[in-house]
Structure 1
Amino acid sequence: MPDLILPEEHDQRPWQERLEQWIFDNKGTLVVLLVGLILLGFGLFLSRSGVFEGTKVEILEGGQTRLAADSDPRQGQIIVEIAGAVQNPGVYELLASDRVERLLIVAGGLAADANREWVEKNLNRAAKIIDGQKIYIPYVGEAAVAPVSGAEVSGVASSMININTGTASELDSLWGIGPARAQSIIESRPYSSVEELLAKKVIPSNVYERIKDKVAP
């Protein structure tokens, strides 16, 4: 950086002229300082706005892939699996706040031979995913797992209705669960266990006893 040129001690000119002369003599240094301040401010803005946050893919034990978000660790992370008719089936690490749609995106989207009609009817893309969950997407012509009590499968490879991803119509099909309770179950998500239906006072104990073996978290 150029050295600052100081005004002469016995300069008798008015201070305005001396200031103008000083600025002219040091314009190179002042430009460098100004550019540095602008770059510093821009860097602070980017760091605060999270522009530098990104994602990275790591390898889990057994050679499975993991997508980890470089974001605020206070949000928490979960490990979930997606299998079946997707571009990149496997185990992924996501944020606890992520939805089924996010898992589909990191898995590369649906495969060309995915049963899209089944997906549109049964998979709730807006549902939250939970730690340890597995979602299976069937292929065209593949028989889906038979639902309980006429309910549609919610996306989890299970004969039970998933209380974290099931739609209102699926939950409504359960004994003692009408439209109001189905909506209450959805609004009280996520659940780490079926027992939380009681702990969160979503359903009464008599209804819980009738459906506890037909639902899963």
Structure 2
Amino acid sequence: MKWIKKYERWLYIGGMVLTAFIFFWINKDSEKEMISPPIENETAESVEAEAKPLTVFVDVKGAVVHEGVYEVDESSRIKDVIQLAGGFTEEADRTKVNLAAKVQDEMMVYVPKKGEETPTVMSEQTTAAGNEKKVNINTATAEELQTLSGIGPAKADAIIAYREENGPFQKIEDLLNVSGIGEKSLEKIKEQIIVK
């Protein structure tokens, strides 16, 4: 008993240190548990948001079973939208439709009847300032591209071939990557085209 009295002070200090250490350790673990779940949830939500594909609206008209506006994934093609519209009618001119073209928001797809001379994708957009019409180089047909200054059949085909191989143009200046189109050609048509 004498040794307890002799070291009582040190035992008391040791007990306090041990209690403080245990208290600190328990609090540290509980803080980790409190912080971890929200971070995990936030990460899961952001990954889920990134993984969720964007949708676009496409208006389908003409020789299809069900005309209407369809909501599709932004990576869809014209063939997917035609399928949603019930497919072609018997009188549809399938040769006038580029089924491989990618859809875009606010696009109108028109399927003509056999013998009808109407573009399959209405690519001319009316600008807000005035009624000047511009050709959307991402959806224009070869005939529409040829309405541009200095664009003949060969350059129109080159634009379409580039777009099919590399995807939609991101900006007007991307036309410079097309074979046969230089600075002068671009300058001539710059005010007549849009990228959408």
Q: Give the TM-score normalised by structure 1.
A: 0.47
Percentage of matched positions with identical amino acids: 31
Matched, 1:84 2:62: yes
Greater helix proportion = 2
- Cα distance in 1, alignment partners of residues 56 and 188 from structure 2: 31
**Residue identity matched to 2:84:** V
The aligned counterpart of 2:86 is 108
Distance verdict in 2 for CA 1:199–1:165, change over 3 Å: closer
Q: How many Å apart are 1:137 and its aligned residue? A: 1.2
Deviation string, structure 1 residues 161-191 (Cα, Å, up to 9, x no partner):
6533456797589635275555334334224
Q: Which of 61, 68, 71 in structure 2 is aligned with 1:93?
A: 71
> CA RMSD of the aligned region, Å?
3.4
1:82·1:107 contact (CA, 8 Å) conserved in 2? Answer: yes
Structure 2 residue matching 1:75: 3-state secondary structure: coil
Q: How many Å apart are 1:157 and its aligned residue? A: 3.1
Deviation string, structure 1 residues 32-57 (Cα, Å, up to 9, x no partner):
xxxxxxxxxxxxxxxxxxxxxxxxxx
- Cα distance in 1, alignment partners of residues 91 and 64 from structure 2: 9
- Cα distance in 1, alignment partners of residues 72 and 147 from structure 2: 31
The aligned counterpart of 1:135 is 109
**Residue identity matched to 2:67:** P
Q: How many Å apart are 1:107 and its aligned residue? A: 0.5
**4+ aligned runs moved over 4 Å, structure 1:** 158-162, 166-174, 178-182, 214-217
- Cα distance in 2, alignment partners of residues 178 and 144 from structure 1: 18
**Residue identity matched to 1:206:** K
Trace 1:1-217 onto structure 2 (pairs within 5 A). Answer: 74-114=52-92, 116=93, 119-120=94-95, 122-140=96-114, 143-145=116-118, 153=119, 155-157=120-122, 162-166=136-140, 175=150, 177=155, 180=158, 182-191=160-169, 196-199=171-174, 201-202=176-177, 203-212=181-190, 213=192, 217=196
Distance verdict in 2 for CA 1:137–1:198, change over 3 Å: same
Q: How many Å apart are 1:138 and its aligned residue? A: 1.8
Distance verdict in 2 for CA 1:144–1:216, change over 3 Å: farther
How many residues were matched structurally?
Answer: 130
Structure 1 residue matching 2:75: 3-state secondary structure: coil
Q: Give the TM-score normalised by structure 2.
A: 0.51
Unaligned runs of 5+ in 1: 1-71, 146-152
- Cα distance in 1, alignment partners of residues 60 and 80 from structure 2: 11
Distance verdict in 2 for CA 1:182–1:172, change over 3 Å: farther
